[in-house]
Amino acid sequence: MELMNRIERIEERVFALMKEDQATYFLNQRLTVFLSVGTKKRRARVHTFRGKRMASIFQKIKNFLLEHPVDYDWIKVDVAKNFHFCSFAELNDQLRATRKNYFRRGIAFDARFTCAFLEEELNGNAMLTPDKDTPELRVNLKNMTRYVEQQRRKIPRFIFTDETSCILFETTSVFSEEEPIVIETTGTVEKVRVSPRTTPFEIKTVVTQASDYLARQVQADGRFIYGYFSCFDKTIQFYNSLRHASTLYSMIEAYAVRPDVTLQHAIDRAKNYLIEHLIVQPNESAYVVDWEQDAEIKLGANAAAILALTKYMTTFKSRRELALCRALANGIVGLQQPAGNFNHVLSYPSLALKEAFRIIYYEGEATFALLRLYELDRQERWLASVTQAFDYFIAHDYWKQHDHWLSYSVNELTKYVPDERYYRFGLQNVEQKLDFIHHRETTYPTFLELMLAAREMIGRMQADGQTDLLTTFPLDWLEATIERRMQYQLTGFYYPEVAMYMKVPERILGSFYIRHHSFRVRIDDVEHNISGYCRALEQIRQKEVVKG
């Protein structure tokens, strides 16, 4: 009976949406409806129903569900609309011109929709990627055939030629876990559930689910399961000590938003693994070692460890790791050159220089970490190292890198040294990137972090009356772009209506994925989203306090 109630509520919502919509729903005097039903354990099954009237189609759906009384976690109904005809060759050209996994329409290969797939099926089963035997095609017929067999669909044998007729379509969609949720399905990349997506409640919900996901990845010994390629549930066989530490940092940020015993236990296990297995202290300096990358010592890894441990001490009111943080900071300062820049990579155990420079992120991470340590341990040498580094950053136009770590760092630095040079650097670091960020197609979570740190710095400038540098700065465009990215990043969140089309939905539910990297979920993909949304939530709350 509960199942029938759910489908009836979906039916009511679908009728209301279609009544409001100006779309074309009939093709050859027929309506086409896809029913997706799934559990957390396995990929959703998709069934197609057609008819002249929506009421009769829903009756068929109800009959089907009565005949197959499974306790479904999720039900989703998609009504096909806005049809576009093209040849197979034209479709292939269109797919070639589209970023990998960013094609957001369904495809039917015959007018009766006997061979038709939702966008979620196509992307969730890598059906729009080339295989080694047919690199010229962007329709992976092997993956398509395998999926059809797994779904046990009865589809006539198709022979594809350049002239084969294809029908592209959009959908009106309603998803049900408990109550019906409308999905925006416009054929654009921004397909996502309709909700007040950037309210504090929604942000906290996303942070909570994402941190729960990370907690599930912390094994008994404290080491993370690094990630998955979720289409086919393939575990990523790799590890990175820097990302272990930075992910730990984001989990502690999430704990500050929503204290939870299970999360705290996971944090403690991951912290202990960092200290006991990834950090060495051969002398007065300590180093994080990436054992699986030829025993490297990376500047950024030392920084991430300091960030995690100082955040832990601040959050859990402890000073137990302060001596270790000083030793890690000694390791960072020991890598600093007379000009102010840092060497990036050493070999362990020789401590010989391996790479003077690897990636710009390391230096922003290093200065940010020293400043977070300075907050707890007011030794002037930490601050002196940062100001020396910023002399180098400014002289060499590091702002052109538009690095989020530098944005964090300069925001932190201006708390202690409100120098106009630093404010200018922070503004330049974000301003010329705003247009690119606003229109960027990929989710790329560090963009939000970059802007939010800059906004916090700007707030301090305004509070201190240092507004001369802001006369030409596009404050409104910054606000609009922040809001845009806060919403847009949710297109990379594994809501259940997306996860249900992956091989093992429960494995990746509540995480964040990178669409163009084969729906990859990696701990650092999740941590950057958590960090951005935690900072956004903090700023929203501070704004409400000021208003109140």
Instruction: Compute φ and ψ for 229, nearest 5 degrees.
Output: -95, 105
Give the pLDDT band (50/70/90) at residue 172: very high
Task: Average the pLDDT over 33-61 and give the result.
Answer: 97
pLDDT digits (tens, 9 = 90+) for 66-83: 998 888 999 999 999 999
User: What is the token pair recorded at 539?
Assistant: 């700023």
| Domain count across the chain | 2
> Which helix (H) or strand (E) element contains residue 170?
strand 165-176
> Which helix (H) or strand (E) element contains residue 301?
helix 299-315
Give the pLDDT band (50/70/90) at residue 388: very high
User: Are 118 and 225 in the same domain?
Assistant: no
pLDDT at 54 over 80: yes
pLDDT value at position 286? 98
User: Are 176 and 233 in the same domain?
Assistant: no
User: Are 314 and 350 in the same domain?
Assistant: yes
pLDDT digits (tens, 9 = 90+) for 198-232: 688 889 999 999 999 999 999 999 999 999 999 99
Beta bridge partners of 75: 37, 176
Task: Average the pLDDT over 232-247 and give the result.
Answer: 97
Task: Average the pLDDT over 8-36 and give the result.
Answer: 95
pLDDT value at position 135? 87
Of 193, 208, 236, which marks where a domain is finished?
A: 193
Of 143, 158, 193, which marks where a domain is finished?
A: 193
| Mean pLDDT estimate for the chain | 94
The CATH code of the domain that includes 314 is 1.50.10.10
pLDDT at 195 over 80: no
pLDDT digits (tens, 9 = 90+) for 102-155: 999 999 999 999 999 999 999 999 999 988 888 899 999 999 999 999 998 888
pLDDT at 25 over 60: yes
b/e burial code for range 64-93 (CB count within 10 A of at least 16 → b): ebeeeeeebbbbbbbbbbbbeebebeebbe
- Rounded Cα distance between 53 and 29, Å, is 9
User: Are 209 and 103 in the same domain?
Assistant: no
User: Are 422 and 446 in the same domain?
Assistant: yes
Domain containing residue 90: 2-193
Of 193, 213, 228, which marks where a domain is finished?
A: 193
Sign of CA dihedral 84, 87, 88, 94: negative
User: Are 176 and 214 in the same domain?
Assistant: no
pLDDT at 546 over 70: no
User: Are 112 and 214 in the same domain?
Assistant: no
User: Are 210 and 326 in the same domain?
Assistant: yes
Give me the half-sphere count of Cα atoms (radius 13 Å) on the Cβ side of residue 195.
22
User: Are 491 and 438 in the same domain?
Assistant: yes
User: Are 251 and 173 in the same domain?
Assistant: no
User: What is the token pair recorded at 40?
Assistant: 């957390």
DSSP secondary-structure letter at 189? Answer: T
pLDDT value at position 117? 97
DSSP secondary-structure letter at 223? Answer: P
User: Are 185 and 209 in the same domain?
Assistant: no
User: Are 31 and 100 in the same domain?
Assistant: yes
What is the pTM for the complete model shown?
0.95
pLDDT value at position 531? 98
Helices within 75-158 (DSSP H only): 88-96, 119-124, 141-151
pLDDT at 194 over 70: no
pLDDT value at position 347? 98
